[in-house]
Amino acid sequence: MQSRREVLDRELDEIGATALVVVAKSSRDPDLAPFVGSAHLGSSVLVCPRGGPPRLSFLTPMERDEAGSTGLALTTPEELEVEKLFREQLDAVAIHSAVLARSLALAGVSPGRVALAGRAEAGVVHAACSRLETRGWLFLAGDEVVRHATQQKSEIE
- Order of strands across the sheet with 19-24? 73-75, 55-58, 44-49, 19-24, 113-117, 138-141
Residues of the chain with pLDDT under 50: 157
Q: What is the pLDDT of residue 50?
A: 95
Q: What is the pLDDT of residue 3?
A: 86
Q: What is the pLDDT of residue 152?
A: 64
Closest CA to 137 of 112, 115, 116, 117: 112
Q: What is the pLDDT of residue 122?
A: 80
Closest CA to 44 of 62, 30, 32: 32
pTM here is: 0.92
User: Which one-letter amino acid corresponds to residue 44?
Assistant: S
What is the distance between the alpha carbons of residues 48 and 32, in angstroms, rounded to a whole number? 11
Residue range 24-48, pLDDT digits in tens: 999 999 999 999 999 999 999 999 9
